[in-house]
């Protein structure tokens, strides 16, 4: 509040209003009041008519300056065209009228909408009476990513299925990645009589996976029963509703060949980009039509781009080494077809050459995505098993006995962990070790941690290079590397 012998000026706490009251006997003019407002720093929203009114109606506070309030915006929102719960990596179970469990496996047809982003409103900026801008809060924008089997609509706001199959949603902060994978459903138990199962997509097995059987999927594998003395390998998620006994599970392991093929293809694309520039120069000079295009292309590449032939040789040699590996057949077959189309003698004209380059770009993008693909594993109980996932491992039931677990991200064991080893960036175990002193090893990355609700003697904690083997039972604790770089076991109570 600013006060003069002739008037009183009051400014609101949020600097959005200024009220003026002129004393009854004051000898003052509007210009003096305007000068006083300016001296006080008030420069926006001044109402001169209100000043005249305050001079006419003495001892009555009137608003002589008023700011413009900001209008808050709204955040982006999503409309899911089928329940969001069905887009997760887990199978949703329901209870039928006869009280039996029923597994609901989501399925969409090509052309169906999966999710639509409703853009938010950025809001409108305001300004206080001192001229200070008032900016509305900024909301993080939701980003949609159309992965395999999906596409963005023309306006970029809706993801649609381009194939029929099972939809998957993976959320990373405000990024929503949607894909649709074709699904193969095997009804009943999968036994050695039925043979090994391999599918370029998702696999759902409504029974158990039994002894000496292997299951291989480029997508996810869902088993509604137990897995006993079998192998399952999935490019994405593995979910076992029953128990895993004496089996091998691997999820999200990218094709090792991808890391070797992709850089070679990238170099080939760069070589051909420079080759196109040379062809354009020859075309301008009228020299491109002197000889058949394959002949000119082969001669130019051998003279000016000798590296190209060497890259093709490396690609073919690498592919030949992989041809007999069943799990890589689809990728290798596509790469072999590409290698043939990259031979100069296969180019009748520049259009065919351009088509080969486009296919190379498409395959490289596919290989790069495969190399970054994460896979999770969900199960209730594991015994004498080897389990690895590039994403996370979640054991939600009784626990894990004498098994080896390795996760690229998180390992979460809701029950008991008896013996064996768990490796992950971060680890949570409800109860580690046993009263009998079974050696149980928990190993996290240097920047990670290990949480336990209870751990028995002979439990070994490893975080980075820090190692601690406890000699007595501990309660809720967290094992970390402290600021000084030493191993520390902290109480979580």
pLDDT of residue 3: 56
Is the pLDDT score of 463 beyond 60? yes
Which among 23-37, 96-110, 315-329, 406-420 has the top mean pLDDT?
406-420
pLDDT (tens digit per residue) in 254-296: 545 566 787 888 889 888 888 888 888 887 877 777 788 888 8
Mean pLDDT, rounded, of the chain: 85
Q: Is residue 349's pLDDT more than 90?
A: no
Strands 126-127 and 175-181: unpaired
CATH for 396-493 is 2.160.20
Residue in this structure with the two tokens 């991200």, named with its chain if needed: 409
Mean pLDDT of 34-38: 88
Looking at residue 59, what is its pLDDT?
Answer: 87
Residue 298: per-residue pLDDT? 87
Classify domain 77-181 at the CATH topology level: OB fold (Dihydrolipoamide Acetyltransferase, E2P) (2.40.50)
Between the CA atoms of 343, 349, 353 and 354, what dihedral angle is there, to the nearest 10 degrees?
Answer: -170
**How high is the pLDDT of residue 275?**
87
What DSSP string runs through 288-332? TTSS-HHHHHHHHHHHH-HHHHHHHHHHHHHHHHHTT-GGGHHHH
Per-residue pLDDT, averaged over 439-463, amounts to 91
Q: How high is the pLDDT of residue 286?
A: 78
Q: What is the mean pLDDT of residues 85-111?
A: 63
pLDDT at 371 over 70: no
Distance between CA atoms of 326 and 322, rounded to whole angstroms?
9
**Whether residue 370 has pLDDT greater than 70:** no
> pLDDT at position 328, please?
46
Which residue would you say has higher pLDDT here, 355 or 3?
355
pTM over 0.75: no
Of the chain, the percentage scoring pLDDT greater than 70 comes to 90
- 173 — pLDDT class (breaks 50, 70, 90): confident
Tens of pLDDT, residue by residue over 333-342, are: 778 888 888 8
pLDDT band at 103 (very low <50, low <70, confident <90, very high): very low
Kindly report, residue by residue over 215-256, the tens digit of the pLDDT: 988 889 999 999 999 999 998 899 999 999 999 999 985 545
pLDDT at 345 (0 to 100): 87
Radius of gyration over every alpha carbon of the chain, rounded to an integer in angstroms: 34
pLDDT of residue 94: 56
Q: Which residues of 14-39 are buried (b: 16+ CB within 10 A; e: fewer)?
A: ebbbbbbbbeeeeebeeeebeebbee
- Give Cα 338 to chain centroid, integer Å: 30
Query: In the predicted model, what is the mean pLDDT of residues 443-465?
Result: 90
User: What was the pLDDT predicted at 317?
Assistant: 83
The H or E element spanning position 340 is helix 329-341
Region 1-29 average pLDDT:
83
At residue 102, the pLDDT reads 46
Min mean pLDDT across 69-73, 133-137, 189-193, 377-381 is at 189-193
Of the segments 14-23, 96-105, 259-268, which one has the largest average pLDDT value? 14-23
Q: How far is CA 309 from the centre of its chain?
A: 38
Mean pLDDT of 56-83: 91
Token digits for 286? 């009228």
């Amino acid at each position: 509040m600013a006060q003069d012998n002739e008037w009183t000026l009051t400014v609101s706490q949020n600097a959005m209003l200024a009220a003026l009251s002129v004393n009854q006997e004051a000898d003052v003019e509007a210009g003096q009041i305007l000068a006083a407002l300016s001296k006080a720093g008030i420069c926006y929203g001044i109402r001169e008519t209100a000043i005249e009114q305050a001079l006419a109606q003495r001892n009555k506070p009137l608003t002589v300056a008023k700011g413009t309030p900001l209008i808050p915006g709204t955040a982006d929102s999503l409309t899911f065209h089928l329940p969001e719960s069905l887009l997760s990596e887990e199978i949703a179970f329901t209870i039928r009228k006869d009280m039996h469990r029923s597994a609901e496996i989501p399925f969409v047809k090509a052309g169906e909408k999966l999710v639509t982003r409703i853009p938010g409103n950025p809001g409108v900026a305001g300004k206080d009476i001192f001229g200070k801008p008032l900016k509305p809060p900024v909301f993080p924008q939701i980003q949609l990513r159309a992965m395999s089997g999906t596409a963005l609509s023309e306006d970029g706001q809706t993801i649609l299925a381009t194939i029929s199959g099972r939809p998957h949603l993976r959320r990373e902060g405000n990024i929503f990645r949607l894909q649709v994978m074709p699904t193969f459903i095997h009804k009943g138990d999968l036994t050695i009589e039925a043979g090994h199962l391999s599918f370029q997509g998702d696999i759902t097995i409504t029974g158990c996976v039994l002894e000496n059987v292997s299951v291989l999927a480029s997508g996810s594998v869902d088993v509604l029963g137990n897995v006993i003395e079998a192998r399952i390998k999935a490019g994405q998620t593995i979910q076992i509703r029953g128990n895993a006994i004496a089996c091998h599970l691997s999820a999200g392991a990218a094709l090792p060949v991808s890391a070797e093929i992709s850089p070679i293809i990238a170099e080939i694309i760069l070589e051909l980009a420079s080759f196109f520039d040379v062809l354009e120069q020859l075309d301008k000079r009228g020299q491109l039509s002197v000889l058949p295009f394959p002949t000119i292309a082969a001669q130019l590449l051998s003279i000016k781009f000798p590296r190209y032939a060497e890259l093709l040789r490396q690609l073919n040699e690498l592919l030949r080494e992989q041809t007999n590996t069943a799990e890589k057949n689809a990728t290798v077959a596509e790469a072999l077809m590409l290698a043939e189309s990259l031979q100069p003698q296969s180019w009748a004209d520049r259009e065919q050459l351009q088509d080969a380059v486009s296919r190379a770009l498409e395959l490289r993008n596919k290989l790069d995505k495969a190399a970054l693909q994460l896979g999770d594993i969900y199960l209730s109980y594991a015994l004498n098993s080897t389990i690895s996932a590039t994403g996370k491992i979640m054991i939600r039931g009784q626990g894990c006995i004498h098994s080896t677990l390795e996760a690229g991200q998180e390992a979460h064991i809701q029950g008991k962990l008896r013996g064996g080893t768990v490796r992950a960036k971060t680890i949570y175990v409800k109860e580690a070790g046993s009263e009998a002193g079974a050696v149980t090893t928990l190993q996290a990355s240097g920047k990670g941690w290990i949480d336990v609700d209870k751990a028995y003697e002979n439990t070994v904690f490893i975080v980075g290079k820090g190692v601690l083997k406890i000699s007595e039972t501990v309660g809720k604790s967290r094992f970390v590397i402290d600021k000084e770089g030493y191993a520390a076991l902290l109480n979580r109570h």
